[in-house]
Amino acid sequence: MNDRSTRVFLVDDHSLFLSGVRAELDGVVDVAGTSTEVRDAIEAIRQTKPDVVLVDVHMPGGGGKAVIDAVLRTDPRVRFLALSVSDAAEDVIAVIRAGARGYVTKTIGATELADAIRRVHDGDAVFSPRLAGFVLDAFAGEPATVTAPQDPELDKLTAREADVLRLIARGYTYKEIARRLQISVKTVETHVSAVLRKLQLSTRHELTRWASDRGVV
Amino acid sequence: MHRGEDRLIAGVCSGIAEALGVDPIIVRTAFIILTIAGGFGVPLYLVLWFLLREPDGTRGIHLDRVDVTRGDLQQLVAVCLLVAGTVLLLRSLGLWFSDALVWPITLAGLGVALLWSRTGDEERERLTRAANRLPGRRFEALPGGWQTTLRLALGAVLVLAGLGAFLAANDALNAARQVAIAVAVTVAGLALILSPWIRRMTTELAEERRERIRSEERSEMAAHLHDSVLQTLALIQRKSDQPRELVALARRQERELRAWLYGGPDRQSGTLANEIEAMAAEVEDVHGVEVDVVTVGDTAVTPAVNALVQATREAAVNAARHSGADAVSVYAEADGDRVTAFVRDRGHGFDPDHVPADRRGISSSIRDRMSRHGGHATITSSPTDGTEVMLELKHR
C-alpha cells in the first residue's frame, strides 16, 4: 500500500532500529523526522506536525507515554502508533489508554507496518493478535461491580466486537475477517475503533488496575 | 435468677433485668448512679457476680466468662466505670495515696499504653474494611502513617503531661525547668556540631546499600546474558549461511529472554496457556517455523484438555512441515467449561478428503483424539487462504 502523502515521525531510543525502520518506510510513506529522545521528540513533533507518530513504548525519560501525553495536549490531531519489543499486557494497555490508536510489535514486517500506519492515519485502530487477546481477557466475565461505571456500555464488548477480536487473535487480517463475517472491511474497522474507545474510556477493574499499576490513571 | 446472656461485663445487670422483666438499660443506669454516688455500685456488682449462677449452673467470678470479643464502646465504658468506681470507693475508704501521685501515674500510664499498643495494624485493617464499604473507590490498604503518628504523639503528650503534673504537684517544676533548659541547649549544640557528619553518614550508608543491591543485580544479569544471549550470538556467527536456522535461534533466544524479563510468577505451570506456550516453543525449535501464540482465559489441564493440547500440537506440526508457510498462528481460549483452539497457517492448503493414507496424523492424532474426549475437530483448507484447524471441547 503506497501512500507517500502520509507524514510519519519516528521516535525510538535505539538508533539502529530507527534507521532500519526508516529504510523500510522511505518511499512508502513520507518520513518527516526521527528522534531518539523524549524531550527532543516532543519539540520536533510540535514543529513538524506529522500525521502519524511511530513511538517506542520503553524509553528513558517517561517512555512513549510521556511523548503521547505532551503532544496530545497541544496537538490533539496527531495520531500515535505504539511500537515495542515488549508485549506485556500492562505496557500495551498503558499506551493505549494514554491515547495511542494501535500497538504493534517490532517484529512486524514492512508491509504490515505501512498498512498499520495508513490505518492509524485514517483514524482507525490497529490491533495485533496479542493485543486482541489481552482485550478479550480483560473484558471476559461480568463487569466489575465495585467501580460503579458511569457508562455500562463501555464495560462490555458486543458479540460482534468479540467475534472480530477473536478472528484478529487467530491471525486473520481485516480483509479476511470481512470476508469471513460477510461484512465490509470498513465495518471491521468500525468495530475495532469502537473496541479501542472502550479500551481507553472503560472503568473496568482489570483495565484500571493495569493502568494504575503503571501510573497512567 | 441467673446471669443474663446480653452481657457488657458479667451479665449481672441483664440477669436482674430479666428477672424483673425490665430493660437491662434501667438496671445498668441504676448501677452507674450507685457507682458514681460513692462507688457503692462496685461492691454490689462484685457480690452479685459471685452469687448469681451462670445459665449453665456454674458460679464464681471467672474473668474468662467475660465476653471480651465484643470489644465495643459500650463495654469499654462499662469497664472504665468499674475501674473508676473502684478508685472512688478506695478514696472514700481512705485507702488513697495522694492526688499528687495517682493522677500523674494515671496520665503517664495511659500514654505508655498508647505508645506501646500494637493495635496499629488491626486498626488499619478495620478502617480499611470500613472505607471499602463507602461507594466510589476501592482501598487496597489505607496508609498507616498518620494514625501511627497521631497515636505516638498522643502517647508522648500524655506521658509528658504525667511527668509535668508529678513535678508540679511536688513543687519540683522550677528545678526541672532549669535542668530541661540546660539539657535542651546542650542537645541543640551537639546537633548543630554533629548534624553534617550524621547526615553524611546516613546518606553514605544508604548509597552503599543501593550500590550493593545494584551490583548484585548487575552480576545476576551478566550471568544470565552470558549463559543465553552470548552463546546464541556465537552460534549465529557460525551458522550465518543457514537463514532458517538463524531465525529459529533468534526466536528461541527472544522467547527465553522475554520469559526472563517479563515472566511474572503469576503464571502457574500445568495450565492450558502454559502448555500451549510450551508446545509452540517446542514446535518452533524443532521445525524452524514461527509459531505465534495468543491465549485468552486459562484452565487447569485435565486429561481432556491435555488431549486438546496434543491435537493442537499435531496441527501445528502439520502446518510447519507441510503448508510451506513460515508462520503459524495458534489461538486458544478457555471460557467456562468450553475450550477451543485454532491453528492457522497461510500455506498452500490441502484437500482434507484426499489425504494420502500414509499420513495418519490428521485422522488419528487430531480427529480421533478429540472425539475420544467428547470434542471435535473441524478442518478448513484452501489453496489461497491456507489451512485452519479448529478444535473444540467441553470439559468437566
Rg for chain A, CA atoms, rounded: 17
Contact assessment for residue B124 and residue B141, using Cβ atoms and an 8 Å cutoff: yes
How far apart CA B131 and CA B164 sit, in angstroms, is 39
SS3 B4: coil
pLDDT tens digits, one per residue of B20-77: 888 888 888 888 787 776 667 777 887 888 777 777 767 666 655 555 555 555 666 7
Q: Which of B136, B262, B344 sits opposite A86 (nearest CB)?
A: B262
- Give the residue with greater pLDDT, A40 vs B118: A40
pLDDT at residue number A161: 92
How far apart CA B302 and CA B227 sit, in angstroms, is 35
All three cell numbers of B289, joined, read: 517455523
Q: Is the pLDDT of residue A214 over 50?
A: no
Q: Is the pLDDT of residue A215 over 50?
A: no
How far apart CA A35 and CA A18 sit, in angstroms, is 8
pLDDT at residue number B140: 47
How far apart CA B350 and CA A112 sit, in angstroms, is 26
pLDDT at residue number A183: 94
- Prediction ipTM score: 0.78
**Are the Cβ atoms of A169 and B292 closer than 8 angstroms?**
no
- Which candidate, A136, A122, A137, A71, places its Cα nearest to that of A98? A71
DSSP chain A: ---TT-EEEEE-S-HHHHHHHHHHHBTTBEEEEEESSHHHHHHHHHHH--SEEEEES--TTTHHHHHHHHHHHH-TT-EEEEEES---HHHHHHHHHHT-SEEEETT--HHHHHHHHHHHHTT--EE-HHHHHHHHHHT-SSPPSTT--S-GGGGS--HHHHHHHHHHHTT--HHHHHHHHTS-HHHHHHHHHHHHHHHHH---HHHHHHHHHTT--
Q: Could you count the other beta carbons within 10 Å of the beta carbon of residue B376?
A: 12
A14 touches chain B (CB under 8 A): no
Q: Is the pLDDT of residue A10 over 90?
A: yes
**Are the Cβ atoms of B329 and A170 closer than 8 angstroms?**
yes
pLDDT at residue number B143: 52
pLDDT at residue number B240: 77
Q: Which of A88, A137, A147 sits opposite B296 (nearest CB)?
A: A137
- For residue B310, the distance in angstroms to the closest alpha carbon of chain A comes to 18
- Which candidate, A156, A163, A210, A212, places its Cα nearest to that of A191? A163
Q: Is the pLDDT of residue B90 over 90?
A: no
| Type and span of the H or E element at B2 | none
Q: What is the mean predicted confidence (pLDDT) over B287-297?
A: 86
Which positions ≥6 away from B47 have C-beta within 8 Å?
Answer: none
- For residue B260, the distance in angstroms to the closest alpha carbon of chain A comes to 12
Which pLDDT band, with edges at 50, 70 and 90, does A92 fall under? confident
Q: What angle do CA B143, B151, B113 make, to 5 degrees?
A: 135
B122 touches chain A (CB under 8 A): no
Nearest 5°: phi and psi at A150?
-80, -25
Query: What residues form DSSP beta bridges with B334?
Result: B339
Q: What is the mean predicted confidence (pLDDT) over B212-239?
A: 82
Q: Is the pLDDT of residue B78 over 90?
A: no
Beta-strand relationship, B327-335 and B290-296: parallel
How far apart CA A209 and CA B346 sit, in angstroms, is 37
pLDDT tens digits, one per residue of A13-55: 888 888 888 888 888 888 989 999 899 999 999 999 999 999 9
Which strands sit side by side in the sheet containing A102-105, from one edge to the other?
A: A30-35, A7-11, A52-56, A79-84, A102-105, A126-127
DSSP B58-71: --S--GGGS-GGG-
A137 touches chain B (CB under 8 A): yes
pLDDT tens digits, one per residue of B194-209: 888 888 989 999 999 9
Chain B residues closer than 8 Å to A84 by CB: none
B94 touches chain A (CB under 8 A): no
- Which candidate, B32, B31, B33, places its Cα nearest to that of B48? B31
